[in-house]
């Protein structure tokens, strides 16, 4: 729970982005009961709910009424999350930041099913008391071999290079160490412990391996000393634009639309505009999840695995009617925004409202070309200040509020825009690469 400008903010970790349908339903109910009714999806495939206790009685001179209102809402919200099984370890809640390939086990895109590794990592992480001391920014990634989440800059991750062997990724790059898949979780925990052993971490001067000078090399050396590891030719982490040429339609890495499963069912990738899922949309996703599972993606979308092919057309219609996106050519694909006003006191604009206005009213956004899914959908990130929170990795058009409009930055060039109409025109041109 954090205090934000628009009330209490609860962040809930969802290792591997995996929720059961009842958990998503519980989250939707709690977000409506005590928050704004919106579930925000994060770039770590976690969720957050804002405005907890915001409707409580105004504070007296000592702030007592408002504070107790917020605390009461937060306590009830936390109790509901615990009931839903979403708070299994209060001591380790902040450190359960685990990405996994969202389509793992569904299609033929990976070398292995990373799902069991997610459960094993979460269980063993929570079982080690010392690892509760990891900084909350430390990020694990379990890539299934397709290279989607290994590319997202995890502190410690694995990227399988064959069915029984994996590269250990440290600080977002290949460490050069190779481990058997059966030892993958052991290697990740060893890397986390090696990081915690660094004096700068113990003294609170570093939160990520990449913040330590020579950090990846030092952590790799400690891991090598405690584990049997091999070495091999370096693996190259491929950015989304390169991977997408061979993969399914995608939003900067996240699946969009139907992906065939070997069992004849489909996994359905759904984009959520600006990563804001209303409670009604969440209820709908839970109802449609006939496979019983909803997977959140680090691209602020959702995957529904195991859907029957029959009835898919009806499912797509219901999702579209609810404002969710399953069309890889939608102008919403690749558009992200920070919190902005009113949730962030630093923001110079209501960036989400402006991003929505620019996206749905942008003149003539170029449609994607068949073998080049990125055309017309260059990622765009709207930010209320220079910090650009939540900016995706890779080539992105930045739209930054200046107090006098917006500034659009792309490829080292900047254009100042005085109002939203001018900003919309510049963003549209940038997305169409004109």
Binding residues for ligand SF4 (CB under 6 A):
338-340, 344, 346-347, 383-385, 387-389
First and final CA of the chain: distance in angstroms?
44
Nearer to ligand SF4, 347 or 423 (CB): 347
CB of 399 to ligand SF4, least distance (A): 11
CB of 204 to ligand SF4, least distance (A): 21
CB of 260 to ligand SF4, least distance (A): 38
CB of 188 to ligand SF4, least distance (A): 29
CB of 136 to ligand SF4, least distance (A): 17
Per the rule left: phi > 0, alpha: psi between -120 and 50, beta: everything else, 27 is alpha
Nearer to ligand SF4, 123 or 387 (CB): 387
Nearer to ligand SF4, 218 or 346 (CB): 346
Nearer to ligand SF4, 347 or 359 (CB): 347
CB of 408 to ligand SF4, least distance (A): 15
Nearer to ligand SF4, 68 or 402 (CB): 402
CB of 27 to ligand SF4, least distance (A): 22
Instruction: Tell how strand 140-142 and strand 156-162 pair up.
Output: parallel
CB of 337 to ligand SF4, least distance (A): 8
CB of 221 to ligand SF4, least distance (A): 35
Nearer to ligand SF4, 366 or 389 (CB): 389
Tokens linked to 401? 């509020």
CB of 406 to ligand SF4, least distance (A): 13
**In Å, what is the CA distance from 373 to each residue of 239, 303, 363?**
14, 19, 19
Nearer to ligand SF4, 245 or 387 (CB): 387
Nearer to ligand SF4, 19 or 274 (CB): 274
Distance (Å, rounded) from C-alpha 107 to C-alpha 101? 11
Nearer to ligand SF4, 2 or 387 (CB): 387
Q: Which residue is nearest to ligand SF4 (CB)?
A: 384
Nearer to ligand SF4, 21 or 344 (CB): 344
Query: Prior bond to 342 cis, omega within 30?
Result: yes
């Amino acid at each position: 729970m954090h205090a934000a400008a628009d009330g209490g903010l609860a962040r809930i970790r969802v290792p591997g982005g995996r929720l059961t349908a009842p958990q998503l339903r519980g989250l939707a109910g709690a977000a409506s009961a005590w928050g704004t009714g919106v579930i925000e999806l994060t770039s770590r495939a976690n969720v957050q709910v804002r405005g907890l206790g915001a409707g409580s009685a105004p504070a007296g001179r000592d702030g007592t009424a408002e504070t107790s209102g917020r605390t009461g809402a937060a306590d009830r919200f936390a109790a509901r999350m615990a009931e839903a099984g979403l708070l299994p370890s209060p001591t380790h809640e902040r450190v359960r930041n685990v990405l996994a390939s969202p389509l793992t086990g569904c299609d033929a895109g990976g070398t292995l099913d990373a799902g069991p590794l997610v459960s094993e990592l979460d269980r063993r992480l929570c079982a080690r008391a010392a690892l509760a001391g990891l900084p909350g920014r430390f990020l694990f990634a379990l890539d299934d071999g397709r290279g989607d989440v290994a590319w997202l800059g995890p502190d410690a991750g694995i990227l399988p290079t064959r069915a029984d062997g994996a590269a250990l990724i440290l600080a977002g790059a290949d460490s050069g160490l190779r481990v058997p898949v059966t030892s993958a979780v052991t290697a990740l925990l060893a890397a986390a412990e090696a990081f915690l052993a660094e004096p700068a971490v113990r003294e609170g001067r570093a939160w990520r391996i990449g913040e330590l000078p020579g950090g990846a090399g030092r952590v790799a050396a400690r891991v090598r000393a405690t584990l049997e590891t091999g070495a091999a030719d370096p693996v190259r982490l491929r950015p989304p634009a390169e991977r997408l040429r061979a993969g399914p339609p995608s939003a900067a890495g996240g699946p969009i639309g139907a992906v065939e499963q070997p069992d004849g069912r489909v996994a359905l990738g759904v984009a959520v505009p600006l990563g804001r899922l209303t409670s009604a949309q969440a209820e709908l996703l839970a109802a449609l999840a006939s496979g019983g599972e909803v997977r959140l993606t680090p691209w602020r979308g959702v995957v529904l695995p195991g859907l029957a092919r029959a009835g898919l057309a009806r499912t797509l219609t219901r999702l579209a009617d609810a404002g969710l996106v399953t069309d890889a050519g939608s102008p919403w694909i690749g558009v992200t925004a920070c919190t902005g006003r009113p949730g962030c006191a630093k923001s110079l604009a209501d960036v989400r409202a402006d991003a929505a206005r620019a996206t749905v009213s942008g003149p003539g956004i170029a449609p994607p070309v068949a073998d080049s899914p990125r055309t017309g959908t260059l990622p765009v990130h709207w930010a209320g200040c220079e910090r650009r929170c939540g900016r995706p990795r890779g080539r992105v058009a930045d739209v930054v509020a200046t107090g006098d409009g917006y500034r659009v930055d792309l490829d080292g060039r900047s254009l100042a825009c005085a109002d939203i109409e001018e900003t919309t025109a510049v963003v549209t041109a940038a997305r169409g690469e004109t």
